[in-house]
Structure 1
Amino acid sequence: MRILIEDGLKPEANSMLQALYSRSSSSVIEHLASIQDRGFGKFMEEYYVGYGHESIGDCGFTTIFIEEVSILTCKAVQNTPLYFGQETSTRYINFSTNGYNDPVGTSQSKAIISGWLEIYTQVHSAILAKLTIAYPCPDGVKIEIWKKTLEARAFDISRGFLPAGVKSQLSWTTNLRQAADHLRNLSLHPLSETRETAAMILTELKKKYPVSFSQKYRPEQSAYRAMISKLKTYYLKQEENYPNFDYTCEANRTAIDLLDRKIFTNRPKYEQLPSIVGSYASFECRFLLDFGSFRDIQRHRNGYCEMPLLTWFYGFHPWYINNLPESTMASVAPRIINLRKASDKLEITEEERQNYLPLGLLVPCRIVYDLRQMVYVAELRSSKTVHSNLRFVAHHLHKAIKTEFPFIQLHCDLEKNTLDVKRGMQNIIHL
């Protein structure tokens, strides 16, 4: 037996190195020497592009860092089950000076975004002052950690008033084939900024990996992608009675009953159910959630999560409004009404109008999880460190699982929301 680890090659060379296993029984040591002698350009051109062996492109990975784009474009890049990466957190970063995307580009449109950022700043200051008085630092907790805990709580509330066009940043780790495929979708996205971002990424990737990004597509392929982009980029449900939470469950209960029951009853905390469990049951859940919190549940990609269109149809999530001090509410309420009226008057598509709407608005959500993923999300997102609005959904996931499969032991935190000092400890510090 021999084990070798190689992580010093460029992505295309690494792809070729792995691909040679499929056509040769020689050791990777010999293949590596061959690559260094011959180069990899011709091989990639012939087998990856010329003959359509896309699995070769699956073996080469790269990381793309995307900066100064709106939260909406961040969500578009992340809207694939194959996304891996990180995004700037609204819980720990002040977004008031990040800049913003303004596709209309008039004094009126600028005033709308500036108005939301002013409310965001005012709300954060008022909430932080209120929390500092109401919640003194507990014994045994470092003051710096407690300050970060209170700041995180204040940002949890104030982020509801951030416009979705505010700029953020994210990373995207992907293999070469998936990058090419997802960029095809992003290049057809309804948002102009997203299309421009896709074009810039593709330009840079072609410079760095010219062979892997030289594919050509038939006109009918491109036409089909364009049709899908127009029809299904956003989940457009606008139902007066869209549920706060409901679900349907499909299950092969006979197969589940044949499994050893200890699989469900003896599972310790932090351990997932085996994959086979997921093949026997699935849940489709529909619920209303603010767009800011939707961003968190969208991170769970081992399932299907539709991208909702951000609109005023369902109004503000009451949690943000109810957590405002009375004096602050009296100040911002008429301004919110005026900002809504102003955004409604913009002559722009509904997709682009999202840039001028706040993250605290409710959106219709639809997720489809197998049983294994359902349990995982319910447990992870029930923690008191999770945003209160998403915890509400996680508790409903817990209830749905228990209703359908009462014998499953779940490790969910069902206690009431409290200020958890762990919020202040979930940080990356400069050493």
Structure 2
Amino acid sequence: MPEDSKLPSTDVYAIHGAEPEVLAYAMAKYSRSALNLRDSLAEISSQRAEQFLNTFYFQYGHRSIADLAHIPFAIERLSLLAAISLVDEQRWDGQERSTRYQDFRKSGWYTPANAGPAYTAGVEGLFGAYDRIGAGMLEALQKAIPCPESMKQDAYVRTLKARAFDVARYVLPLATNTSLGQIVNARTLETQVSRLLTSSFGEIRMIGEKLRDAASEPAWNVQHATAAQLVEEAQALDPAFAARLAEQILRPVKTAPTLVKYATPSDYQAKSCNELEHAAHELMDGQPIYPAPVVDLLEDDEPLEVELATSLLYPHCHFSYRQLRGTVGALTEQQRAEIIALGMKHRGRHDELLRAFHSGQGLRFDLLMDIGGFRDMHRHRRCTQLLQGFTDLHGYEQPICPGQPTLEEAGLAADYEASMTAALEAYRQVRDSGTPEAHQTAQYLLPLGMRCRAMFKMDFAEALYISELRSGVAGHFSYRRVAWDMYQAASRRHPALAPYFRVEDVNTPIDLLRR
């Protein structure tokens, strides 16, 4: 009999109840100890885990250890603008409130410290429009689509309300409050906190501080009330036992007090951002923004140096990638090298490279779409996304869904146009007010129907996945069009691969009661 056959069979077991940092330490010991995980966890205390992490994580830079500590968070009552920044991580898992299935009239909104009457009036005007357009579109849908006999009335109304919210959300301002939950590993949390603390937005910096505090302070224990009742019952029987029980099941647990305690604003990101923003302004000064399609698939034969220099500048301006690349491509090799050096020179020993350095993917889509639709596309993590700032320079979209009543047919077109115009006037008034962080405060007044620009770099599998998922008939009509255009562009570039895309034709009217 071979010697190997005498070894015990493979052991697989799930783990519950270990603190995130203790579990990370126990798993890290696989590389240094022959103990199994049960024995490792039995001998590890929180204090020993902290000592280990202080040595190997911070002194030796073994960052992968933090990948083993996963921590759930709830982040509630933050603006849509801040939520977009919060979730802008390539290693992120979570869920946010849906503008399709929830009425945001009761959400309230975020008001920056320096906001004045023009800000409040602008937000109130958009919420009023959201209420009117949502109610008006629901009425139009009910008139156009009768309830089938096979469908319950409450399901019918709920489904059409979702379709009405799909239109009404175009006038929701970025100030609107939302809530979300995230489960991230400690390394992602540390970089997330550092990035948020570096933001030019006061609200986003505040959220970074609160995330760091939440990881360092005792976590909310969902079982605390039940456990406290058990301790109270034990107290009546045996006070000494009750004390020991309380020490075990009521002790405060800090989820990641060691791994995020040194998270601070990133000098690398802040200094690089300032210098790249200056370089982009200097390079493109005086150029108008050329018209661009909703989806622009860039050529795949671009020299890497040109892509790197263009990608570094792209998030710090409002030009399309194609227009920006044309100017970068006309520079000398030395000038492009100087731009690339701006993204490198402030990098510290443990700093991850700026996202723009994630270059060389075969399919690169420059998207110009409404902010609301972008929020859905933003959830795709298996690609590199470069986001530009929110602005009024690209105008706004009209909510048009094949087979659904238009704003004109619902009698809402004039209200929509007037609401968007008023929002832009308020935006410009606040932006030009001269108050501290006026440019940041003004962006909260931009409705979700405003266009924003973002670069999505990916491989073939991700392009196929996004095109298939986002073109589905149950999806929002905004990103359905974008997914369809991505498919069309990829098919023209690689016609032999077109048959492998299982997409839905977005130009075909759909059954609006289908979910």
TM-score by length of structure 1 reads 0.84
Q: Deviations over 1:41-68 (max 9, x none)?
A: 3222332234332221111110111001
How far apart are residue 147 of structure 1 and its match? 1.4
Q: Are 2:13 and 1:23 equivalent residues in the alignment?
A: no
Aligned to 2:52: 43
1:352 and 1:320 map into 2 onto residues whose CA distance is: 30
Q: Are 2:159 and 1:149 equivalent residues in the alignment?
A: yes
Residue number among 385, 401, 417 corresponding to 1:333 in the alignment: 417
Aligned to 2:269: 225
Deviates more, 1:116-125 or 1:6-15: 6-15
How far apart are residue 339 of structure 1 and its match? 3.2
Q: Deviations over 1:368-401 (max 9, x none)?
A: 1111100010000110111112111111111122
Letter in 1 for 2:189: A
Q: Which has the higher contact order (CA 8 A, sep 6+)?
A: 1
1:118 and 1:216 map into 2 onto residues whose CA distance is: 41
Aligned to 2:291: 241
Aligned to 2:472: 383
Q: Are 2:260 and 1:213 equivalent residues in the alignment?
A: yes
Contact 2:295–2:486 (8 Å) recurs in 1? no
Q: Are 2:365 and 1:355 equivalent residues in the alignment?
A: no
1:120 and 1:195 map into 2 onto residues whose CA distance is: 29
Q: Number of paired residues?
A: 393
How far apart are residue 241 of structure 1 and its match? 1.1
Contact 1:145–1:421 (8 Å) recurs in 2? no
1:37 and 1:216 map into 2 onto residues whose CA distance is: 20
Contact 1:61–1:173 (8 Å) recurs in 2? yes
Contact 1:101–1:167 (8 Å) recurs in 2? yes
C-alpha spacing 1:20/1:324, structure 2 compared with 1 (3 Å): farther
2:453 and 2:260 map into 1 onto residues whose CA distance is: 36
Contact 1:281–1:371 (8 Å) recurs in 2? no
Aligned to 1:318: 398
How far apart are residue 280 of structure 1 and its match? 10
Letter in 2 for 1:342: A
How far apart are residue 191 of structure 1 and its match? 1.3
Give the 4+ runs in structure 1 shifted more than 6 A. 235-238
Q: Which has the larger radius of gyration?
A: 2
Residue number among 417, 423, 429 corresponding to 1:345 in the alignment: 429
1:39 and 1:338 map into 2 onto residues whose CA distance is: 59
Contact 2:72–2:183 (8 Å) recurs in 1? yes
Letter in 2 for 1:202: R
Q: Deviations over 1:303-345 (max 9, x none)?
A: 0122232222222202369535463333453343233222211
> SS of 2:193's equivalent?
helix
1:38 and 1:281 map into 2 onto residues whose CA distance is: 44
1:247 and 1:199 map into 2 onto residues whose CA distance is: 39
Q: Deviations over 1:142-188 (max 9, x none)?
A: 32222121011100000000011110011121111221112111101
How far apart are residue 293 of structure 1 and its match? 0.3
Cα-Cα RMSD:
2.7
2:503 and 2:60 map into 1 onto residues whose CA distance is: 50
Aligned to 2:368: 288
Contact 1:49–1:214 (8 Å) recurs in 2? no
Aligned to 1:60: 69
C-alpha spacing 1:206/1:280, structure 2 compared with 1 (3 Å): closer
1:11 and 1:380 map into 2 onto residues whose CA distance is: 34
Aligned to 1:426: none
Deviates more, 1:204-213 or 1:93-102: 204-213
Aligned to 1:305: 385
How far apart are residue 139 of structure 1 and its match? 3.8
Q: Deviations over 1:230-285 (max 9, x none)?
A: 4679x99972312232212538xxxxxxxxxxxxxxxxxxxxxxxxxxx9972111
1:410 and 1:145 map into 2 onto residues whose CA distance is: 32
C-alpha spacing 1:324/1:168, structure 2 compared with 1 (3 Å): farther
Q: Are 2:201 and 1:191 equivalent residues in the alignment?
A: yes
Letter in 2 for 1:225: Q
Residue number among 20, 23, 34 corresponding to 1:14 in the alignment: 23
Aligned to 1:265: none
1:113 and 1:147 map into 2 onto residues whose CA distance is: 28
Deviates more, 1:146-155 or 1:132-141: 132-141
1:298 and 1:310 map into 2 onto residues whose CA distance is: 14
Contact 1:70–1:165 (8 Å) recurs in 2? yes
Aligned to 1:275: none
Letter in 2 for 1:141: M
Contact 2:373–2:479 (8 Å) recurs in 1? yes
Unpaired runs of 5+ residues, structure 1, are 252-278, 424-431
Contact 2:212–2:263 (8 Å) recurs in 1? no
